[in-house]
Chains A and B, each alone.
Chain A
């Protein structure tokens, strides 16, 4: 156990020694992007945009040349102080709503955006009504069953024969 620890320590020291000169020369790597904050904004924005050339990939994920150009364009526009909405407008003016992974809310997409929740409320309400009616029907049925039994009991064996 002690031996292992020593070995590990030594390995650590050797690795550290090996690593030290290299790091002293080369130092810290730098981010690809000149402005990491701007880059974050660009990535967040382009994740919700669709790459046009690809089958189904976001602008952020695509390696196609057009996607790279568009990312650069978005970067440039953000750098000049444009808002996210202005950048999105720039893109939809040229490529249409197709580039938006999040379809804008307008009469044509009402069904898309509200449909699931309307359905949920409708199904919930429907289920509640069904339960109420079901309870009444079962109550009715079981009563008549009881009545049947009573009739059977009254008729005795005759009832069973028929």
Chain B
């Protein structure tokens, strides 16, 4: 009964999404107030219905309703309660439902925080989001119904063990908050194109939305990376897998969009370009969905694939992006040029930032799809993996990070180059000297380490110069200003983490009998054997490693090897001692012939900095959206209306 209720709610949501997508848009075109007024209530009703469907599916999982195909395939009678709940979005069908739910959430947020906007703008934005939602609901009902019934099964085949992890609770919802959040910026861009009013005001309206979606996506990607780090058992944190690339591409374009929105809002320049980026960021989110779910690329964590689903998403993709780009081509040529600026100016710096980010995106896209291109042309099969991406990505990102230091110190319209050079020369000189010398304190001097440290120091120094200069003026608190600098500092922190761990990581693959020790970077690990453990839905072996430093006990680590009952597949659970300047990472391998075990031990210097930096970037984003400017604009407009 409950699953049918959920199914019915989805059908109703589909109908309301159609109303939400059509009436307000037509109303805005004909200036019909009554039709435009449908937008807000329709969006809220649609969200409510999708939420009901979501709860119905969660209920089916929590109550072990093995007459629902989705539950049977992704749950098990012995699956712990929290993972039964997260299994709601563990499957393709369920994750589409989560996606639509979050789209509804963003739309409702738009209905709440849009009082200061003109009615036709709100109607168009909500209408566009309604059409997107309609597409996804239709996709779900036509090809991926999460409530499909079957004869009652005895038991389920269990959730993928990799997904039975606390990371599953937060990672997908936050990642989707990011992906789907770009739909708001997209809807604003389309609304601006439709209305023909491509002025600076739409940029101001969509800026906080874009920044918050970007911040969510940053956290989402960071969590995925951290999850892969501790869950996959060999301590990598980025694999350039198609699924990761699918999340990185919208992030890169989103980053470009945030920067170009700043130019469009403040200076009225690059209007067409900014609209294009807003379309691009969301398009790449959609493309990512297609790549992960259609099976055109093989990836570590793809969903069970089905060609009809792939075809449907591709048609949806073609309709949404194709029509948007067509609209863009028709309207963008009529856009004005905006303010005047010199060749060397903050405008130009931000545009160079955009060019680098977009080239980086293009290279990720090219590398991800190149095997597909060659295969489609019958030219053979190749693989494009980490060596390619690293060798293309690093040269593109290096100048980008360098610019992140200079950019905030430049002036709009025209930069006085000698003055800027004068302000920066000491900072730059000090950064170079320290960056050259600092690696000598490590085991060996490496050019890449110096480069990484230089980039990080450069950002830190320029942020300090910029903040000091601002404190000397009478300008007060600006969330936007400090948020930006916090995010840039986050980049520096991440760069340090990446540089250190990729250059100075130590790995040991040992054969350890009970009582044997091994010393890695001053930490002595003693293997105290393995005991059998039984979890709710798995059995396993739990190792004990006593870690001591200089003869003093330091910590105890318990890496595990588990075999899940339903799948019978072995999985490793690493044990990590996290630290600010290093992680100790251990994983249990196989039992060897004479009762000894193979044990993998890693010393990973500064690896947490990668994720700390990402959190700082996201915090900077969240901080920027609290800026008074956005609220002031709201009050002012609210007063006028």
Contacts and interface: CB of A to CB of B under 8 A. Distances in A.
A119 B508 CA distance: 42
B479 interface: no
A96 B511 contact: no
A127 B350 CA distance: 12
A160 B518 CA distance: 89
B367 interface: yes
Contact of A97 (B366, B380, B514, B546): B380
Interface residues of A, number: 55
B370 A112 contact: yes
Interface in B348-386: 348, 351-352, 355-356, 358-360, 362-363, 366-367, 370, 374, 379-386
B387 interface: yes
B300 A12 contact: no
Contacts of B28: none
B366 A29 contact: no
A152 interface: no
Interface stretch (A72-80, A83-91, A130-138): A130-138
Given A25-B515, A55-B298, A99 B383 contact: yes
Interface string A105-135: 0001101110110011001100100010011
Interface string B583-621: 000000100000000110000000000000000000000
Contacts of A96: 380-381
A26 B44 CA distance: 68
A99 B385 CA distance: 10
Contacts of B355: 120, 123-124, 127
B515 A131 contact: no
Contacts of A50: 383, 385
Given A29-B511, A56-B300, A127-B351, A103 B384 contact: yes
A38 interface: no
B509 A31 contact: yes
B298 A56 contact: yes
Interface string A52-93: 001111100100000000000000000000000000000000
Given A16-B551, A97-B382, A32 B510 contact: yes
Contacts of A98: 381-383
A141 interface: yes
Contacts of A33: 509
B511 A31 contact: yes
Most chain B C-beta atoms within 10 Å of own C-beta, residue among A43, A99, A116? A116
Contacts of A109: 370, 382
Contacts of B234: 61
A116 B370 CA distance: 13
A100 B299 CA distance: 16
B548 to A, nearest CB: 7
From B358, B388, B599, residue with most partner A Cβ within 10 Å: B388
Contacts of B299: 55-56
B553 interface: yes
B391 to A, nearest CB: 8
A39 B379 CA distance: 35
Interface in A1-55: 11-12, 15-16, 19, 22-23, 25-33, 39, 43, 47-48, 50, 54-55
Contacts of B382: 97-98, 100, 103, 108-109
Contacts of B334: none
A131 B387 contact: no
B552 A12 contact: yes
Contacts of B385: 48, 50, 58, 101-102
A141 B340 CA distance: 11
Interface in B501-533: 507-518, 526-527
B157 interface: no
A158 interface: no
Interface string B309-351: 0000000000000000000000000000100100100001001
Contacts of A54: 300
B241 interface: yes
B396 interface: yes
A119 B545 CA distance: 51
A99 to B, nearest CB: 7
A55 B343 contact: no
A111 to B, nearest CB: 8
B241 A56 contact: yes
A142 interface: yes
Contacts of A123: 355, 358-359
A32 B510 CA distance: 5
B302 interface: yes
B515 A26 contact: yes
A18 B522 CA distance: 20
B392 interface: yes
A112 B362 CA distance: 11
B540 interface: no
B242 interface: yes
Nearest to B235: A61
A58 B232 CA distance: 13
B427 interface: no
Contact of B359 (A58, A61, A119): A119
A132 B360 CA distance: 25
A115 B509 contact: no
A30 B509 CA distance: 9
A127 B236 CA distance: 38
A10 to B, nearest CB: 12
Contacts of B509: 31-33, 39
Nearest to A132: B343
Nearest to B377: A108
Nearest to B302: A55
Interface in B384-423: 384-388, 391-392, 396
Nearest to A22: B515
A3 B508 CA distance: 38
A29 B241 CA distance: 35
Nearest to B234: A61
Given A98-B383, A112-B370, A116-B366, A32 B511 contact: yes
Contacts of B526: 19, 22-23
10 contacts: A19-B546, A29-B511, A29-B517, A30-B511, A32-B510, A32-B598, A101-B384, A116-B363, A116-B396, A135-B343
Given A29-B518, A96-B381, A138-B340, 7 more contacts: A19-B526, A29-B517, A32-B598, A47-B386, A56-B241, A116-B392, A127-B352
Interface of B: 232, 234, 236, 239, 241-242, 298-300, 302, 337, 340, 343, 348, 351-352, 355-356, 358-360, 362-363, 366-367, 370, 374, 379-388, 391-392, 396, 507-518, 526-527, 546, 548, 551-553, 589, 598-599
7 closest residue pairs by CB, A with B: A101-B385, A26-B515, A102-B387, A116-B363, A29-B516, A22-B515, A29-B512
